[in-house]
Every structure is written in structure tokens, then in C-alpha cells.
């Protein structure tokens, strides 16, 4: 039983990425019961779900919202919930049948949280974007970096998590408080551009009173002053200096052994020479030595630590700001409460692991319960086997252990062989007409050889997301070229379907520009560029998710829409199961 300040509150999270999951994690940390509605093949860390810290403290139910029965199940869940969070583009939730109107009709007290980059309205509302674009448009990115260089990217903290997820939590908590008084829920439109702009309130105040120049690297808090900057040490590390107040600045000068007059702190003409002197002094000792000099000092100086180093720092260690659970280093819940402490909650779930229990508690229909339970079970089995495949490619345990493990696994085979479908029979967890392929070798969450890849449709384009483990290694540390072709063929086919054409691959040309790294999130993009009769030409590329502008592999494919007689000839034996209207398989 959770004991946080939100204990007893129920939250439904329609699975997404980034700021939405962060907001839901924060609510779970604060004691809310969070149920994440995952979709088949939708894992962002396929095979490594246990490390997706943003999903800690949550339960997971596997539902395909393209299925009307699944939508009805979500609406039943809404009747018992306090909050729903979704991060779709504007209009998508409405098209799925789980928009604000449908949900508030079922539960008038519901707080409906919407997380987007651009907001629910405005010229860019339906346009794709990422953190860097949102903070670029608000002025935040322009303000970060040196005067003589380009803007510097502050991870995705300012937009996604600061201006996005954190503001969604603020909005939800405020709406919950108001609903307690009024008895009525409402929609919270949390846009990253709005939140990022709001975070700049103090900077706008400086700008308004003339103490901020709308240029980079020349102001009080952007590294423009020598007493609020970062300096290199003798060992190539860095120290952060933030001696803004005169008394703290005086202590900085004393610790550095500089004979400057603290009264001259705001003399801009002296700043270039002072910066040079401070830099020269810092380069005479290592970071560890300087950390010792400034320990317990009010000079406001601290060593710049890596994520793993931070966990070992005495202060953070004493407060338990970072903790380790199940081998995962992660931040502890924040903030802290005197009577109702927040807690870390359960480990991140495998998608769908709680489906049966949640649906049973809802009293959902047997049909939904069984289909959902089976898809959840297939997903869990696929994830477990995928983990074994991954470990098989990495383990260096003794031969005797390998032999014993092989015998154990062979002993499990008869259990699964008790009921095996013949080749022409469609898998019970698949729905070809709606594009649900649980056992597809690329996107199938239940297929242990699938990464698996998650597909998103963006207008007439398709975007796939996946991470390749060592089972797909070609050159050492990089993916096999054949796997790249397979990923591209899948996404190109979905792009054809997105253009309302459909078809099968007739030809695929692949150009390998750079090696595809393993264990790095990938982005696979495709778009239909030409239509001629029954033929559709599609182009696409593989990039890393972090650098979508640098192609690693490019492809051009030609797809043909089959005539009914061709379907009967080419797919004899399965024609009753496959429709020429179905999405590319």
C-alpha cells in the first residue's frame, strides 16, 4: 500500500514517450496508482523494459486501441480513475474514441491531461517536433552557449521534462484540487512551448528592466561573467563557479589567492582579464584538489560530475538523492514530505504483465479478458525469450552452465508444443485487417527474434523506433546489413499503407552510408514519393534517434498493389486470411 500524498488516486496513462511517462512516473512516486495502457509492439526499450525507469511504480495493461473492445475497456477504466494522461498529436485520441468528450461523459470528475509539444491549437499544433525545436522557438536555446559559438543543447531537460512533464504534473494537481471543490473535471492542455516560455519568466524580467542583453554568453547567468562560469582544471575536468553575491565573490577570490578588489565585481571592463586570471589558477590543480579547497565553502563552487559520479558524492549520498534498485541507478522521488513520504514503487513492468488482473477487477467481458490476456502473455513470453537470446550472445559463463541451460530450455519445449497451429492458420493474437502482427519478425512483440520495432504513422510518412541488441551484430559493435534492409522494408511498407495505397515489395535498393550501432535507439523513417498506377515508390533512412539528420542507411523501394487474382495465385492457402486491403506485412 502506497503512503504518498496521492495515495488512493488512480491514473491512466495512454503509453507515449518522454514527458508523458515522466509525469506519470512522478504521480506514481507521489503515491498514485498508475496503470499504463501499452500497445502491442509499442515498447521503447524492447527486451530491456526493466531499465525504463520512467515506468517505475506503474502497472501495465496491453490493449490495442484500434480494437473497439479495447476502447470500451479503457472507458470502463476511466469510470474509476481520477486522471488520464495522453501524449498523442491533437485529434488522435478523439479518432481512437478516448478523447475528452468520451472520457468526461463517462466520468465528469476526470482530469484529462494532454501532453504535446506545440499545444492543442495554433499553426504548428499538428506538426512533428522534438525538445530542441520547442526550446528553439521560445528563445531558450538561443540564450544557452558561449558568445563566440552556436547555441548549446541542454539535454532535453528544459523542454521535454521541465517545460513539459513537470508542467503537466502541476496542471493535473491544480485541476484535481479544483475538482475536489467543484465536483467537475477538466482538460489540462500542457504544451512544451508554453512551459518552456514560462520557465523563462525570470529572464524576461531581466530583459524588461534592461539588465539582460538578448545575446548569448554576455549576461549575468549565461556564462557572460567570470564569476558565474565553468573552468577547466589540470586533469581536464571542470569546476562550476557561481559566486554572484559580493561576499561569496570575496571568498572565491580568497580561495583562489587572487588580490582583486571585491568592490570591482560589476566592472565589466575588468571581466576579460579577470576571467583569464581565474582560468589560469584553476588549471594549476586537479578537480579533486579544487573540490577539497572549496569543500564547506560559501564561494559557491562545485565540481562538474558525471551521472555516475554524482551518486557517490557525499552530500547526494547522505540525502539519498540517487538510489540503486535491481542494479539500476536512478533518482529518488522528489520532493520530500514530512508526513506522507513518497516512495520508489515497483520496478518497471513488462508491457501487459498486469492485464489479466486489471481486466478481471474491471469485470470486463470474457472476450476482451481472454484476447487481452493472451496478447499480454505472448508479449511477456516474447520479451523473456528475447532477453535469453540477448544473454546468449553476451554470456561468458562456464561450458557446464551453458550445457545445463540448454537442457532446461529443451525441457520446456513440449509445454509449448502441446498446441501448435498449422501454417495456414492465422495466429489468434493477430488482426491482419487492423495491422496487428504480434509475431512479425520486425514489429512483433511476441516474436523473440524481433527487436521489436514500434511504428508511428505521421501523415503520409511512417516512423519506426527500435534498438538492436547483440543478436543482430554484423561487424563488431554494429548491426548486420541484412537487418537494416529488413527494418527499412517494414517501415517503407507502412509508409505505403499510410498513403492509402497498400501493396507488397517489388524491389528494394539499399545504400549503406555508415555502420548502424548496436544498443543505441534508432529511428527508421519512410515516405511515399511517387505513385504510378498500381506502383508506389517510397524512400527511407535509418538514423540514430539522437541525430535524425545524419542518415546511416538509405533505401528506395517499389511496391505494387496486387490484383485479387494475383493474391489468390501468390498466397494460395492463406488467401482466406489475408486481404489485399490489409497493411503491408
Residues of the chain with CATH 3.10.129.10: 453-585
- For the chain, the C-alpha Rg in angstroms (whole number) is 27
Percent of the chain with pLDDT over 70: 93
> Residue 467 is inside which H or E element, if any?
strand 461-467
- pLDDT (0 to 100) of residue 583: 38
> Higher-confidence residue: 371 or 20?
20
What are the tens digits of pLDDT across the range 436-481?
788 899 988 889 999 888 888 777 789 998 889 899 999 999 999 9
- pLDDT (0 to 100) of residue 584: 43
CB 30 within 8 A of CB 6: yes
Q: How far apart are the first and last CA of the chain?
A: 44
Which residue's C-alpha cell is 528553439? 136
Residue 42 confidence class, pLDDT cut points 50, 70, 90: low
Look at residue 112 and tell me whether its pLDDT is greater than 60.
yes
Of the candidates 29, 131, 160, 222, the residue annotated as catalytic is: 160
Look at residue 576 and tell me whether its pLDDT is greater than 50.
no
Residue 364 confidence class, pLDDT cut points 50, 70, 90: low
Residue 327's region, left for phi above 0, alpha for psi from -120 to 50, else beta, is left
> Higher-confidence residue: 423 or 305?
305
Omega cis (within 30) before 543: no
Residues of the chain with CATH 3.30.1540.10: 215-232+238-303
Look at residue 262 and tell me whether its pLDDT is greater than 60.
yes
What architecture does CATH give domain 215-232+238-303?
2-Layer Sandwich (3.30)
Which CA distances in Å does 307 have to 29, 322, 338, 423, 460?
21, 10, 28, 50, 40
Of the candidates 48, 130, 142, 535, the residue annotated as catalytic is: 130
Q: Find residue 301's DSSP bridge partners.
A: 241
Residue 263 confidence class, pLDDT cut points 50, 70, 90: very high
Instruction: Clarify whether 313 is annotated catalytic.
Output: no
What are the tens digits of pLDDT across the range 525-539?
999 999 888 899 999
- pLDDT (0 to 100) of residue 386: 86
Backbone angles phi, psi at 491, to 5 degrees: -70, -40
Write the secondary structure of 120-145 as one string of H (helix), E (strand) and C (coil): CCCCCCCCCCCHHHHHHHHCCCCCCC
> Residue 521 is inside which H or E element, if any?
strand 521-532
Percent of the chain with pLDDT over 90: 67
User: Of all residues in the chain, what percent are helix, strand and coil, respectively (each to 5)?
Assistant: 40, 20, 45
Write the secondary structure of 146-198 as one string of H (helix), E (strand) and C (coil): CCCCCCCCCCCHHHHHHHHHHHHHHHHHHHHHHHHHHCCCEEEEEEHHHHHHH
Average pLDDT score over the chain: 90
Fold adopted by 453-585: Thiol Ester Dehydrase; Chain A (3.10.129)
> Higher-confidence residue: 583 or 372?
372
- pLDDT (0 to 100) of residue 441: 92
Is the whole model's pTM more than 0.75, yes or no? no
- For residue 90, what are the contacts with CB-CB under 8 A and spacing of at least 6? 116, 120, 121, 125, 126
Cα of 13 vs its chain's centroid, Å: 14
CB 470 within 8 A of CB 477: no
Instruction: Clarify whether 130 is annotated catalytic.
Output: yes
Residue 44 confidence class, pLDDT cut points 50, 70, 90: low
Which CA distances in Å does 72 have to 112, 365, 505?
17, 10, 36
What are the tens digits of pLDDT across the range 371-425?
667 877 888 788 888 888 988 998 999 999 999 999 999 999 999 999 898 887 8
Please report the DSSP string for 346-387 in residue order: SPPPPTTTTHHHHHHHHT--HHHHHHHHHHHHHHHHHHHHHH
Which CA distances in Å does 74 have to 14, 19, 71, 96, 176?
9, 21, 5, 11, 20
Query: Measured between alpha carbons, how far is 242 from 248 in angstroms, rounded to an integer?
Result: 9
CB 118 within 8 A of CB 191: yes
Residue 1 confidence class, pLDDT cut points 50, 70, 90: very low
Amino acid at each position: 500500500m502506497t503512503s504518498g500524498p496521492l495515495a488512493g488516486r488512480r491514473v491512466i496513462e495512454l503509453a507515449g514517450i518522454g514527458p508523458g511517462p515522466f509525469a506519470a512516473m512522478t504521480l506514481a512516486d507521489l503515491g498514485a496508482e498508475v496503470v499504463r495502457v501499452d500497445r502491442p509492439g509499442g515498447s521503447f526499450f524492447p527486451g530491456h523494459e526493466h531499465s525504463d525507469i520512467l515506468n517505475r511504480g506503474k502497472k501495465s495493461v496491453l490493449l490495442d486501441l484500434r480494437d473497439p473492445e479495447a476502447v470500451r475497456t479503457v472507458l470502463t477504466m476511466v469510470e474509476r480513475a481520477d486522471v488520464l494522461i495522453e501524449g498523442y498529436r491533437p485529434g488522435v485520441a478523439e479518432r481512437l474514441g478516448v478523447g475528452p468528450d468520451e472520457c468526461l461523459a463517462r466520468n465528469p470528475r476526470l482530469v484529462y491531461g494532454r501532453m504535446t509539444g506545440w499545444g492543442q491549437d495554433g499553426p504548428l499544433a499538428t506538426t512533428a517536433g522534438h525538445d530542441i525545436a520547442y526550446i528553439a522557438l521560445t528563445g531558450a536555446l538561443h540564450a544557452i552557449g558561449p558568445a563566440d559559438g552556436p547555441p548549446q543543447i541542454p539535454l532535453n531537460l528544459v523542454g521535454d521534462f521541465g517545460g513539459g512533464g513537470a508542467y503537466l504534473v502541476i496542471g493535473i494537481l491544480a485541476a484535481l484540487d479544483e475538482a475536489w471543490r467543484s465536483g467537475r473535471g477538466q482538460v489540462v492542455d500542457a504544451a512544451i512551448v508554453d512551459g518552456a516560455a514560462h520557465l523563462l519568466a525570470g529572464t524576461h524580467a531581466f530583459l524588461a528592466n534592461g539588465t539582460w542583453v538578448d545575446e548569448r554568453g554576455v549576461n549575468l547567468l549565461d556564462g557572460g561573467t567570470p564569476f558565474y562560469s565553468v573552468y577547466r582544471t589540470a586533469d581536464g575536468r571542470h569546476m562550476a563557479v557561481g559566486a554572484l553575491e559580493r561576499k561569496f565573490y570575496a571568498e572565491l577570490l580568497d580561495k583562489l589567492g587572487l588580490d582583486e578588489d571585491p568592490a570591482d565585481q560589476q566592472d565589466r571592463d575588468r571581466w576579460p582579464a579577470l576571467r583569464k586570471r581565474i582560468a589560469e589558477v584553476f588549471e594549476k590543480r586537479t578537480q579533486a584538489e579544487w573540490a577539497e579547497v572549496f569543500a564547506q565553502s560559501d564561494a559557491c563552487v562545485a565540481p562538474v560530475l558525471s551521472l555516475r559520479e554524482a551518486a557517490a558524492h557525499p552530500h547526494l549520498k547522505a540525502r539519498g538523492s540517487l538510489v540503486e534498485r535491481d542494479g539500476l541507478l536512478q533518482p529518488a522521488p522528489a520532493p520530500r514530505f514530512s508526513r506522507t513520504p513518497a516512495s520508489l514503487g515497483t520496478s518497471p513492468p513488462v508491457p501487459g504483465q498486469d492485464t489479466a488482473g486489471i481486466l478481471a477487477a474491471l469485470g470486463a467481458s470474457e472476450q476482451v479478458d481472454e484476447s487481452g490476456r493472451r496478447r499480454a502473455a505472448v508479449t511477456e513470453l516474447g520479451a523473456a525469450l528475447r532477453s535469453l537470446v540477448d544473454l546468449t550472445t553476451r554470456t561468458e559463463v562456464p561450458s557446464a552452465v551453458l550445457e545445463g541451460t540448454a537442457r532446461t530450455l529443451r525441457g520446456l519445449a513440449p509445454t509449448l508444443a502441446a498446441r501448435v497451429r498449422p501454417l495456414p492458420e492465422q495466429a489468434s493474437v493477430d488482426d491482419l485487417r487492423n495491422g496487428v502482427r504480434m509475431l512479425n519478425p520486425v514489429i512483433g512483440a511476441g516474436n523473440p527474434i524481433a527487436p521489436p520495432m514500434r511504428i508511428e504513422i505521421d501523415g503520409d510518412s511512417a516512423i519506426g523506433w527500435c534498438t538492436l541488441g547483440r543478436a543482430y551484430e554484423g561487424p563488431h559493435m554494429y548491426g548486420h546489413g541484412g537487418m537494416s534492409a529488413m527494418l527499412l522494408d517494414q517501415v517503407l511498407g507502412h509508409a505505403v499503407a499510410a498513403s492509402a495505397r497498400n501493396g507488397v515489395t517489388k524491389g528494394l535498393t539499399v545504400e549503406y552510408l555508415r555502420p548502424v550501432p548496436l544498443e543505441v535507439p534508432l529511428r527508421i523513417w519512410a515516405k511515399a514519393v511517387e505513385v504510378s498506377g498500381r506502383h508506389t515508390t517510397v524512400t527511407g533512412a535509418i538514423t540514430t534517434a539522437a541525430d535524425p539528420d545524419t542518415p546511416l542507411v538509405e533505401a528506395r523501394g517499389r511496391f505494387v498493389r496486387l490484383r485479387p487474382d494475383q493474391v489468390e495465385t501468390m498466397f494460395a492457402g492463406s488467401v482466406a486470411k489475408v486481404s489485399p486491403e490489409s497493411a503491408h506485412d
